[in-house]
Amino acid sequence: MPPILLVILNGLLRVFDLAKDVNILFDELEAVSSPCKDDDSLLHPGNLTSTSDDASRLEAGGETVPERNKSNGLYFRDGKCRIDYILVYRKSNPQTEKREVFERNIRAEGLQMEKESSLINSDIIFVKLHAPWEVLGRYAEQMNVEMYFIPLSLIDKQISRFRRWLPKKPMRLDKETLPDLEENDCYTAPFSQQRIHHFIIHNKETFFNNATRSRIVHHILQRIKYEEGKNKIGLNRLLTNGSYEAAFPLHEGSYRSKNSIRTHGAENHRHLLYECWASWGVWYKYQPLDLVRRYFGEKIGLYFAWLGWYTGMLFPAAFIGLFVFLYGVTTLDHCQVSKEVCQATDIIMCPVCDKYCPFMRLSDSCVYAKVTHLFDNGATVFFAVFMAVWATVFLEFWKRRRAVIAYDWDLIDWEEEEEEIRPQFEAKYSKKERMNPISGKPEPYQAFTDKCSRLIVSASGIFFMICVVIAAVFGIVIYRVVTVSTFAAFKWALIRNNSQVATTGTAVCINFCIIMLLNVLYEKVALLLTNLEQPRTESEWENSFTLKMFLFQFVNLNSSTFYIAFFLGRFTGHPGAYLRLINRWRLEECHPSGCLIDLCMQMGIIMVLKQTWNNFMELGYPLIQNWWTRRKVRQEHGPERKISFPQWEKDYNLQPMNAYGLFDEYLEMILQFGFTTIFVAAFPLAPLLALLNNIIEIRLDAYKFVTQWRRPLASRAKDIGIWYGILEGIGILSVITNAFVIAITSDFIPRLVYAYKYGPCAGQGEAGQKCMVGYVNASLSVFRISDFENRSEPESDGSEFSGTPLKYCRYRDYRDPPHSLVPYGYTLQFWHVLAARLAFIIVFEHLVFCIKHLISYLIPDLPKDLRDRMRREKYLIQEMMYEAELERLQKERKERKKNGKAHHNEWP
């Protein structure tokens, strides 16, 4: 370390040591502005609904402040003890004895308690809990709660001051008007009562923020007994058996204010979050993740950090996808294939269904050929490779971003403590016990054979439900093959002439309805199978349930898309020898312009409908429920009673957070990620649609958390859990599916084979538009109409085209003509195309996987500057603790000498 830095640090330590003796005297607190985030003196000083008012304000306000605190619903009746947690039960509930024992043990732990009855229902009782400083300090030390420890060096402060002179980005929040969002200027360390003088404590009431206080109280409640017995312990069990109806921390007052935040400041942190995060006016701003983490905890903060990172990474993907689409638009007039299709007035195509479907000119599909070119053009392969690489870059850089967040939020060295065993597991296996290798205590034990048998039954259930999905897809296939004939015979010319598009559109809408219905069934089945497995802990239960729900919903959502991409029109046979379903229905063929347009319609409609429905259910449903609750209260008690409701009453009337936590939010985004990557070669606009949805999704989720839901418990987490492994699996699957989409679904490979082997430029090594002359005619085979089966023969003889009955029609395939030695046999061009397709799949997959692994190898999980910061912080903390302890001992030695109590064996 440079000598100048040592001088600065020693000076800081002396200043800190002199100020220490003043700061730890809590009775002589002054309103000192802290450089750390936990100093809530930045909140609006006139609003006493905030739980962040410090002791100096209480003393300055005399008896006025406690009086005002009594009425805001955030403090006890004395107006001094803030409410850290709320329990709710009904007096009519028969579990009275358990509650009495539980509450008696709560008081024994040192927590203070008050009870209030509801203003609208006297049967509902609210239990208010407050943790005094001694209890908070004791349990914070047990839980290794990280607290602000030592200020940063003056050099870091000078650098941060210099950065303020740099131009401001419009996406960043204004830190001058929102001072709570300033970056931390403090290091942190696990709280220790023995070294309390090392921590920056300006006010014991605000040293632990509200989220930390609630987490500590919840930790205490989870370890309090309600009956005699080793398993009769914890708040969760009381919530499960109905002893308590709800348990939640309080919001910090109202999220609205009559005054502008820029002129009067924030009323409280909830108001601050609403104005700078949940408001639609800041949709283009970065999220205040530190404030989200401080209010909702690390687990929810990590979700919004991941969602924001995913949304930001969608910008380049959406831009390239839009570029591919615009490239198709600009090159549309120069596309030789679409020109030939539009000019092919003399080519008559065979009917696409039995009996009712008429013959049609190839030129009638001119519009579909042009639309297909918008998505299937020369840039498609590049975009597929780009998206496969993009998925890898997204995941690799997210690991780096997560590491930075974990460092800033003190999660690097945090390890989740040993979880409690689920009550259901204890009840099932309480007769068998074994020693826990970690805690050294006996615990219920599940035999290996029992566990395997349950897993086999669960896997069988998963397989059965996947078969149900396949059966639903089979029903959609039957609907498509039946209705295409119905639409072909429709009396409206618009539908009759576009029977295939009408069939695809209605089939997609019906498929979406089936998806929504099956999702409800899948949730119940996943719950049943997960409970059947009897997971040991809550995290094991959550991971098992998450994996099942993802498999169910992924297969449910994508099964029809896989059918259209890889099976539609591939096994139909040929005119005169069609393959039939149950020897009755002729399998559906692709449109004369190809199958890609069906895949585009499937993805576009499902993406738009699914995201619209999810957004409505996430925000609209809680809004309607909360509105209905307020309406009932107004009808029963009058509109004026709403104003007098305390905060606990308002929060109780809000909707609780989902029973599965952030599962629904993650699942929605993971499924969207699958849509964005798996079939992106067929629908380049998918990243753009995902980006637009996510910009809205962030604000909808923020609005929901801040205004419509009760405040969730601030939980800690180091990463996004099992979802990261699922994302990696989707990334691998996307490479395979995009390779098959380009090789099989699109016409990219047949066009290349024609250009280099059969076209005008054969053998010249060129593949321009001039080399595609004659491609359409070469991709169509000839069929003799007299060879039709009786049940396939169309009602029309085709005389409307030339005045005489047609003798031949064309169809998409590479087959010999009817007068050849082997009628309707595969041509040599078919085998060339098939070989090229297989070769492309192998080359594409190996190339992309090599690029993905190379990128993963080149991008370290931990940024170098972060690694250096971590080492520097560790070194500085060790040095500062040593210097501070040394100076403390020297000071004590001087005082002893002054008092004549010096000892010769003192050190140093």
The token pair that represents 172 in the structure block: 């960043």
**Spatial separation of the C-alpha atoms in residues 905 and 348, rounded to whole Å:** 110
CB atoms within 10 A of CB 152: 18
The token pair that represents 226 in the structure block: 């309600």
How many Cα atoms are found within 13 Å in the side-chain-facing hemisphere of 477? 24
- Residue found under tokens 């296996």: 429
pLDDT at residue 242 above 70?
yes
Is residue 649 within 8 A of residue 116, CB to CB? The reply is: no
pLDDT digits (tens, 9 = 90+) for 463-493: 998 888 888 888 887 887 777 767 766 666 6
Phi/psi at 85 (5° precision): -160, 150
Instruction: Find, among 177, 174, 176, the residue nearest to 264 by Cα.
Output: 177
**3-class secondary-structure state, position 351:** coil
The sign of the torsion formed by the CA atoms of 898, 899, 903, 907 equals negative
Tokens of 359: 């013959």
255, 753, 768 from 763: Cα distances, Å:
72, 11, 13
Dump the DSSP string for 390-453: HHHHHHHHHHHHHHHHHHHTT-SS--PPPPPBPHHHHHHHTTSEEE-TTT--EEE---HHHHHH
Residue for token digits 């259209």?
A: 564
Which phi and psi (to 5°) does residue 421 adopt?
-75, 140
DSSP 240-270: HTTS-SEEEPPP-S-S--SS-HHHH--SSHH
Please give the C-alpha separations between residue 883 and each of 22, 244, 429, in angstroms, as whole numbers: 19, 51, 54
User: What pLDDT does residue 311 have?
Assistant: 94
Q: What share of the chain is helix, strand, coil (3-state, %, to 5)?
A: 60, 10, 35
Three-state secondary-structure class, residue 829: helix
Q: What is residue 14's predicted lDDT score, i.e. its pLDDT?
A: 41
Cα–Cα distance measured from residue 541 to residue 543, given in angstroms and rounded to the nearest whole number: 6
Q: Which residues pair with 655 in a beta bridge?
A: 709
Q: CA 823 to CA 845: how far, in whole Å?
A: 37
Cβ atoms of residues 358 and 488 within 8 Å? yes
The answer to whether residues 815 and 350 touch, using CB atoms and an 8 Å cutoff, is no
pLDDT, tens digit (0-9, with 9 covering 90-100), for 139-164 = 888 887 877 765 544 434 444 444 44
**Cβ burial, residue 888 (10 Å; 0-12/13-18/19+):** middle
Yes or no: say if 482 and 571 are a contact pair by the CB < 8 Å rule.
no
Confidence of residue 26 (pLDDT cuts 50, 70, 90): very low
Mean pLDDT of 419-432: 74
Q: What is the pLDDT of residue 159?
A: 42
- Per-residue pLDDT of 833-853, as tens digits, reads 999 999 999 999 999 889 888
Question: At 353, is the secondary structure helix, strand, or coil?
Answer: coil
Query: Of 249, 179, 255, which is closest to residue 211 (Cα–Cα)?
Result: 249
Look up residue 537 and give its DSSP letter.
B
Q: Are strands 348-349 and 146-151 parallel, antiparallel or unpaired?
A: unpaired
**782 - beta bridge partners?**
810
Give CB contacts under 8 A, 24+ apart, made by 190-195. 190/141, 190/144, 190/145, 190/146, 190/147, 191/137, 191/140, 191/141, 191/144, 191/145, 191/146, 191/147, 192/141, 193/137, 193/138, 193/141, 195/881
β-bridge partners, 75: 82
> Comparing C-alpha atoms, which of 717, 605, 728, 737 is closest to residue 662?
717
| Nearest of 434, 645, 599 to residue 507 by alpha carbon | 599
pLDDT exceeds 80 at position 393: yes
Q: Which residues pair with 82 in a beta bridge?
A: 75
756 vs 762: CA distance, rounded Å: 5
- pLDDT-derived band at 39, boundaries 50, 70, 90: very low
Contact 708, 623 (CB under 8 A): yes
Task: Identify the band that residue 49 occupies on the pLDDT scale cut at 50, 70 and 90.
Answer: very low
The radius of gyration of the chain from alpha carbons, rounded to an integer in Å, stands at 34
Kindly provide the residue ranges of all beta strands, DSSP E only, lying in 701-798, ordered along the sequence.
780-784
CA distances from 230 to 317, 427, 447, 792 (A): 55, 12, 21, 75
Bridge partners of residue 809, in order along the sequence = 783
Question: What pLDDT does residue 417 have?
Answer: 63
210 and 393 Cβ atoms separated by less than 8 Å: no
Find all residues with CB under 8 Å of 347, minimum gap 6, and list them: 361, 362, 363, 776, 777, 780, 810
Quick: pLDDT tens for 557-592: 888 888 888 887 777 888 888 888 777 777 777 777
Least confident of 442-456, 686-700, 872-886: 872-886
Distance of CA 209 to the CA centre of its chain: 27
pLDDT of residue 179: 52
| The pLDDT of residue 614 | 74
Helix residue spans in 575-685 (DSSP H): 596-615, 621-637, 647-652, 663-678
Residue 305 has pLDDT above 70, yes or no: yes
* Residues 598, 604, 607: CA angle, nearest 5 degrees: 135
The proportion of the chain whose per-residue pLDDT surpasses 70, expressed as a percent, equals: 81
Sheet holding 112-117, edge to edge: 112-117, 124-130, 85-90, 246-248
Outline where 817-863 has alpha helix (H). Answer: 828-858
Query: Which residues are 115's β-sheet partners?
Result: 127
Q: How far is CA 103 from the centre of its chain?
A: 38
Indicate whether 280 pLDDT > 50: yes
Peptide bond into 908 cis (omega under 30): yes
Tokens of 392: 């890898």
Q: Structural domain boundaries of the chain? A: 85-158+182-249, 266-416+599-635+646-857, 863-896
How far apart, in whole angstroms, are the C-alpha atoms of residue 273 and residue 618? 19
pLDDT bin (cut points 50, 70, 90) of residue 419 is low
Return the residue matching tokens 């996943």: 526
State the chain's mean pLDDT as an integer.
78
Q: Distance between CA atoms of 388 and 394, rounded to whole angstroms?
A: 10
pLDDT at 418: 61
Token code pair at residue 160: 């941060």
**Residue 232, both tokens:** 């009769």
Phi, psi of 592 (to 5 degrees): -55, -25
704, 619 in Cβ contact below 8 A?
yes
Q: Which residues of 432-452 are buried (b: 16+ CB within 10 A; e: fewer)?
A: eeeeeeeeeeebbbbeeeeee
Residue range 289-307: mean pLDDT, rounded: 91
Quick: pLDDT tens for 352-375. Answer: 777 777 788 888 888 888 888 888
DSSP code of 363?
A: G
In order of 173, 487, 492, the CA distances from 498 in angstroms are 52, 8, 10
